[in-house]
Amino acid sequence: TDLSHIRNFSIVAHIDHGKSTLADRLIQSTNTVAARDMKEQMLDSMDIERERGITIKANTVRIDYTADNGRAYVLNLIDTPGHVDFAYEVSRSMRAVEGSLLVVDSTQGVEAQTLANVYHALDAGHEIVPVLNKIDLPASECDQVAAQIEDVIGLDASGAIRVSAKTGIGIHETLEAIVNLLPAPQGDRDAPLKAMLVDSWYDSYLGVIVLVRIIDGTMKKNDRVRFMSNGTVHQIDKIGVFRPKMQDVEILGPGEIGFITASIKQVRDTRVGDTITSEKKGTDQALPGFKPAQPVVFCGLFPVDSSLFEDLRDAIEKLALNDASFSFEMETSAALGFGFRCGFLGLLHLEVIRDRIEREYDIDLITTAPSVVYHLHMRDGEMRELHNPADMPDLTLIDHLEEPRIKATILVPDEYLGDVLKLCQDRRGVQLDLTYAGSRAMVVYDLPLNEVVFDFYDRLKSVTKGYASFDYVLTGYQEDYLVKMSVLVNDEPVDALSMMVHRDRAEMRGRAMVEKLKDLIPRHMFKIPIQAAIGGKVIARETLSALRKDVTAKCYGGDATRKRKLLDKQKAGKKKMRQFGKVDIPQEAFISALKMD
Ligand code: GDP
Ligand code: MG
């Protein structure tokens, strides 16, 4: 295809503003998919993505469009992941295209993810066409929202296209804008092969499928290609494009987007952002900005039913096949038995994996408190990463500790601003900026990630009744006074409950934890001290009083069935207990204690 007849673009939007619906409409109106094969949300393939309306993998579709000027164009749409956890993937897929449609719901206006995603698009040097969606709704306020786009983002929105992705108004204008306003790709067909690895996933029939954008040169079947980040060489055994179903092609040239398969076994061997070149006479200039995915949030996953450990291993290994950004290693906990310590790109990523294990593999899980990655600067000068509070070395060995910080952007209607500021302040936040974007306040905070991974989203949602939008980027590491808080039940440390806390709030957290546990652990025949401690120093303590000898004594009256019921209940409860020293702790207690509030 002649380069001047190609347009590559992505759609950037806040969640629910209509990205998928618009993509569907573009696919449908160009007859890319026969009407009878059209189903909603063509590009959102995984069930969980569909249900939650989020896209995790970058999907792509090639559309043929004959423009009003009579020429035939090839339009490649890459649908980028829509969530903050996948910021690196978003930034890479943006670099694979030249332009973006900026979709803003004209009944809602600019939101936090609109900003985050548009900044990625601007960073990638995109031409951006603003699209005001949902104009069929009575609450649509196109003029105000166009003004807001100009104010907040600084883009000229006077020519914004007014669209209803639902009814089809403005779809033709959108296609014309893609052709007329977005730039054609550039590239040299005769230069050595240089292609970007945009995404990859595992297919049980074909092995790993690699989504590529050709920059220079060409690729065809049987070519031998090299992945520059790790030097591996593969022979292409299938090459094609997505419409959105796979369709084989002879060759892919500059500016084109398509897929290859090459008998690659593991997604781990294909890294997003890598440069692909030919085995012989390849380029020596890799694309800039490549970095391997780094897990940011860690937690332990344990099967509620410990006999399912091998099933859990199997599930985790299968999921990891398709997700290079997810890491795991075996973990043993005295309290929870055998499980896995897993690393994720963020909380949503964690939730998605956990949900898939529970639903697709039918294994109930206990998730330990999420922890971030701390940098321990040891007295001997070494720097160590800490992924699990249970592994915290003796304090005397540590010179200082650094924790990851984020820059969080929150957009919120005025009336909730006070509560949001208080929440951020409570979480050790430092305010960086406070401005207004139309009728909404936009606050920017520097926050420790460790305070956000607990329950920040939930708190934010509840104090703003769901009206706040939130986005963040990691900014780096900063020294602070964090300590490991251990929990002791009957003087035995319970490893699964230890956590890293800021020294200033350790007493508060410790108190909350021991009070909760006091209600959750059943009484025994002896007194049980429940303590929170830092090193050897107890900072909070409760005592669970001893049970009277006859458990049925309180069933005055002597109703025999009631007595039996109580004894049966105790027996059933026993099964789900974990023996801890001399103390039995019910499974429920861990699950509840690990939910922070
Ligand atoms: P995404 O999260 O950006 O992919 O958003 P979706 O495309 O999934 O759309 C979110 C919701 O808005 C869905 O319920 C759509 O049916 C609805 N929606 C999308 N576009 C329009 C539109 O133009 N008009 C109306 N009334 N609803 C729309
Ligand atoms: Mg969507």
Question: What ipTM score was computed for the predicted complex, to two decimals?
Answer: 0.99
pLDDT in tens, 552-577: 555 455 556 666 665 555 554 444 56
The residue-averaged pLDDT of 220-247 equals 94
For helices 171-181 and 19-29, what crossing angle results, to 10°?
90
Q: How far is the CA of 395 from the centre of ligand 1 (A)?
A: 53
Helix (H), strand (E) at residue 421: helix 417-426
What φ, ψ does residue 235 adopt, rounded to 5°?
A: -100, 130
Give the atom of ligand 1 at the shortest distance from the alpha carbon of 23: 7
Atom 19, ligand 1: residue with shortest CA distance: 18
Q: Name which of 214, 249, 255, 220 is nearest 236 in CA terms.
A: 220
Instruction: Show binding-site residues.
Output: 16-21, 133-136
What's the pLDDT score for residue 43?
59
Q: Is 165's pLDDT higher than 60?
A: yes
What's the pLDDT score for residue 223?
97
The residue-averaged pLDDT of 140-157 equals 94
Q: Which of 40-49, 431-440, 483-492, 498-507 has the lowest mean pLDDT?
A: 40-49
pTM score over 0.80: no
What's the pLDDT score for residue 559?
57
207: left (phi over 0), alpha (psi -120 to 50) or beta: left
**Closest-approaching ligand to the CA atom of 43:** 2
Give the atom of ligand 1 at the shortest distance from the alpha carbon of 103: 3
Our mutation pick for probing the ligand 1 site, out of 11, 17, 20, 21, counting the most ligand atoms within 8 A of Cβ, is: 21
- Per-residue HEC secondary structure of 89-123 comes to HHHHHHHCCCEEEEEEECCCCCCHHHHHHHHHHHH
What's the pLDDT score for residue 4?
95
Give the atom of ligand 1 at the shortest distance from the alpha carbon of 167: 23
What three-state secondary structure class fits 18? coil
What's the pLDDT score for residue 574?
46
Query: Which residues does a 6 A CB cutoff place in the pocket of ligand 1?
Result: 13, 15-21, 53, 133-134, 136-137, 164-166
**Closest-approaching ligand to the CA atom of 40:** 1
Q: Name which of 320, 311, 310, 297 is nearest 368 in CA terms.
A: 297
Q: How far is the CA of 131 from the centre of ligand 2 (A)?
A: 16
The residue-averaged pLDDT of 332-348 equals 86
Q: How far is the CA of 460 from the centre of ligand 2 (A)?
A: 23
Q: How far is the CA of 53 from the centre of ligand 2 (A)?
A: 5
Q: How far is the CA of 82 from the centre of ligand 2 (A)?
A: 8
Q: How far is the CA of 595 from the centre of ligand 1 (A)?
A: 33
Q: Name which of 127, 152, 170 is nearest 12 in CA terms.
A: 127
Give the atom of ligand 1 at the shortest distance from the alpha carbon of 133: 23
Q: Is 172's pLDDT higher than 80?
A: yes
Atom 17, ligand 1: residue with shortest CA distance: 18
